[in-house]
Amino acid sequence: MPFWSKTVAAPRWIDTWFTDHMQRTFLRLKPPAEPKTPEGLSSPVRLTIDDVGTLSAFWTESYGGDDWYMDAQPAWVSTYLKDSSVIVLGVYDTGGKLVATIVSVPFSGSSTELSTGAMLYYGAMRVIEGLCIAKSWRSKGIAGYMIGMMDCWTSTKLPVVHLWARETAVTPFFSTALRTDTYAMAPTNKLVGSISCEKMDWLQFSGMWQMSFRNWMMNIGEGKPPPQIVSTKPVNRSNHIDVWVTKKRPDIDAELRKVVVVANTRRRSIPGDERIFEVIWCGYLVGSKLKPNTGTRGFRYVLESIGAGYKDSLLFASSGYLGGEARPSWAAPWQYGRSGVHSWHIYNYMPPTFGNCEIVAVRDEI
């Protein structure tokens, strides 16, 4: 995509070789130049709640792949359009039809902290989502144009960092990704539960997270903190995130209970029309504190027990510690490595490291 090769704010391959010697800071402080609007398109406009019907129809029709589509119900779409911290841009063709969108969402419900000791105020780190181009306008450079315009919109007053995720068939050989994890998928109707789990109230989980993240950043009692970018407050904007915890056994006082966070992705499979759920965080409840998974115990049987409760659906996990620690050895009904890989990238900031940086967050994602 030409946009990434023409901007000084995108990390380069050579940056991945020398991260221990490079300053972790913004790559560009001044606002970028506005890109030229492609012929046949309007200048971008910020969509509002008045556009919910148009946006819902557009995403349902155009946002998807060969084996999935976006179930963009107006009630869900409106949660983004009504949030003043979320920027939704759209462009139209000469006939007044919406043909492209892009969304910029705050990464955290509060500030973002990095293992380098840096802190970014609320809204200074954002996530690019909802990049959707009408089929008739694809392969014409519109995606790069939309990213460039969002870069302009968000950087007019202060520099902004953007994260974005890519799903690809295989792990790229050369990459500036912060991390790349392999997906595993299972039809939930074929999962059998063996561990008792219960839902945790969202406000309780969010409160525990905010009381616990400082320990992760300092890695108290465990030596040097691992490379990580941490959201200091979870976000459940559309109420499509479930928090599960293994039930407490009455005979054990100081029990380490597993916690699994599952998101309804709003995607549905083709041709089966199953809902698609994804494991987005795994960790432990120790007393009243949360702790991210670091690979000390497996999560497979807990995931299967939770997934069995989501009828007529597909459950995705990934190979990262926070994504469920999926492995090629997981037997059927799990299918490991057949659904591609998930990579996190960063723009306009030098991260703690490339390749193995943990993105520690619980948040909605389009």
What is the dihedral angle through the alpha carbons of 108, 366, 30, 344, rounded to the nearest 10 degrees?
80
Co-location of 123 and 208 in the same domain = no
Does one domain contain both 136 and 266? no
Residues 100 and 219 placed together within one structural domain of the fold:
no
Give the residue numbers spanning the domain of 96. 2-165
- Domain identity same for 193 and 342: yes
Residues 293 and 206 occupy one common structural domain: yes
Domain end position, chosen among 117, 132, 165: 165
Q: What is the CATH number of the domain that holds 156?
A: 3.40.630.30
Residue 176 lies inside a defined structural domain of this protein:
no
DSSP state string for 166-179:
EEESS--SS---SE
Nearest Cα to Cα of residue 239 among 100, 364, 155: 364
319 DSSP 8-state letter = S
Question: Pairing relation of β-strands 161-168 and 125-133?
Answer: parallel
- The reply to whether 153 and 213 lie within a common domain is no
201 and 330 belong to one structural domain: yes
Crossing angle (nearest 10°) for helices 74-81 and 52-62: 120
Residue 207 and residue 85 share a domain: no
Q: Which of 123, 139, 165 is the last residue before a domain boundary?
A: 165
Total-model pTM: 0.93
Within a domain: residue 195?
A: yes
Quote the number of domains for the chain: 2
Structure tokens at 83: 């949030």
Instruction: Identify whether 172 is part of a domain.
Output: no
The answer on 227 and 159 residing in a single domain is: no
The answer to whether 163 touches 11, Cβ cutoff 8 Å, is no
Q: Please tell me whether residues 232 and 138 are part of one structural domain.
A: no
What is the phi/psi pair of residue 70, to 5°?
Answer: -90, 125
Q: Which two tokens stand for residue 360?
A: 């520690």
Per-residue pLDDT of the chain (366 residues; tens, 9 = 90+): 556 556 777 777 666 666 554 566 888 888 888 899 999 999 999 999 999 999 999 999 999 988 999 999 999 999 999 999 999 999 999 999 999 999 999 999 999 999 988 999 999 999 999 999 999 999 999 999 999 999 999 999 999 999 999 888 877 766 789 999 999 999 999 999 989 999 999 999 999 999 999 988 887 556 677 899 999 999 999 999 999 999 987 655 556 899 999 999 999 999 999 999 999 999 999 888 999 998 877 899 999 999 999 999 999 999 999 999 999 999 999 999 999 999 999 999 999 999 999 999 999 999
Question: Do residues 133 and 201 both lie within one domain?
Answer: no
Residue 170 within any structural domain of the chain: no
Residues 88 and 125 in one domain: yes
